[in-house]
Chain A
Amino acid sequence: MIDTNLQTNKKLRNALEAFSFTGPSAIILFCVMLLPLILVVVYSFFQNMVVENSPFVGFSNYMRFFTDPDIFKMVRFTIVFTIGSVFLHLAVGLLLAVKLNTNINRFALSIFRGIFILPWVFTAAVVAVAWQLILLPQGILNSMFSVIIGQRVLVNWLGKPLIAMGTLIVVNAWRGYPFCMTSFLAGLQSIPESLYEAAQIDGAGRSQLFFRITLPQLRPVILSVVLLDAIWTLNLFPLIWLLTGGGPLSATDTIATFTYRYAFVDYQFGLASAAATIGLLVTMVFTVFYVRKQKVD
Chain B
Amino acid sequence: MAITAKKSRNSRGSGTGMQPSKLSTYIILTICAVFVLFPVAWMLSVSLRPNNQVFSYPASFIPQEFTLEAYVNVLTSNRYMTYFLNSYIIGIVVTIVSTIIGVMGGYGLSRYKFRGKTSFSLFVVATQTIPRISLLIPFFILMTRLNLYNTRGGLILAYTSFALPYAILMMQGYFNGISTELDEAAIIDGLSRFKTLWKIIVPVTIPAILSTMIYTFILSWNEFIFVMALIQDDALRTIPVGIAMMKGETTYQWNMMMSMSLLGTVPVLVFYLFGQKYFVSGLSDGSVKG
Binding site for B on A (CB under 8 A): 14-15, 17-22, 24-26, 28-29, 31-37, 39-40, 43, 49-50, 92, 95-96, 99-104, 108, 112, 115-126, 128-134, 136, 138-140, 143-144, 146-147, 174, 179, 182-183, 186-191, 193, 196-197, 200, 206, 209-210, 214, 220-221, 224-225, 228, 231, 234-235, 237-238, 242, 256, 259-260, 263-264, 269, 272-273, 276-277, 279-280, 283, 286-287, 290-291, 293-297
When A124-B222, A260-B225 are in contact, do A104 and B157 touch as well, CB less than 8 Å? no
Decide: B8 and A224 in contact? CB cutoff 8 A: no
Can you list the 9 inter-chain pairs with the closest CB atoms, starting with the nearest? A21-B108, A25-B105, A103-B15, A22-B108, A36-B138, A18-B112, A235-B131, A125-B240, A143-B59
A174 to B285, CA, bound (A): 23
Give the segment of B36-44, B64-72, B73-81, B202-210 that binds chain A. Answer: B36-44
Residue of A whose beta carbon sits closest to that of B225: A237
Q: Which of A43, A92, A224, A231 is B288 in contact with, Cβ under 8 Å?
A: A224
A147 to B283, CA, bound (A): 42
When A37-B134, A143-B58, A228-B288 are in contact, do A210 and B18 touch as well, CB less than 8 Å? yes
When A121-B272, A187-B290, A225-B288 are in contact, do A25 and B240 touch as well, CB less than 8 Å? no
Decide: A238 and B224 in contact? CB cutoff 8 A: yes
> Is the contact region of chain A dominated by helix, strand, or loop, or is it mixed?
helix
Decide: B124 and A29 in contact? CB cutoff 8 A: yes
Decide: A33 and B265 in contact? CB cutoff 8 A: no
A110 to B39, CA, bound (A): 21
A37 to B138, CA, bound (A): 8
CB<8 Å pairs between A and B, sample of 29 = A25-B164, A28-B160, A29-B123, A29-B161, A33-B161, A36-B134, A121-B265, A121-B269, A123-B240, A129-B243, A129-B244, A129-B258, A130-B39, A130-B258, A130-B261, A133-B258, A187-B288, A188-B16, A206-B20, A237-B132, A242-B244, A256-B133, A263-B140, A263-B229, A272-B137, A276-B133, A283-B129, A293-B289, A297-B176
Decide: B17 and A209 in contact? CB cutoff 8 A: yes
A198 to B52, CA, bound (A): 63
Number of interface residues of B (CB under 8 A): 113
Chain B 165-185 against A: per-residue CB contact (8 Å), 1 yes, 0 no? 100100010001000000000
Decide: A146 and B58 in contact? CB cutoff 8 A: yes
A228 to B13, CA, bound (A): 31
Residue of B whose beta carbon sits closest to that of A264: B229
Specify which chain B residues have a CB less than 8 angstroms from the CB of A206 in the assembled complex.
18, 20
Binding site for A on B (CB under 8 A): 5, 8-9, 12-20, 22, 25-26, 28-29, 32-33, 35-37, 39-40, 42-43, 46, 54-55, 57-59, 101-102, 104-105, 107-115, 118, 120-142, 144, 157-158, 160-161, 164-165, 168, 172, 176, 193-194, 197, 221-222, 224-225, 228-229, 239-241, 243-244, 246-247, 254, 257-258, 261, 264-265, 268-269, 272, 280-281, 283-285, 287-290
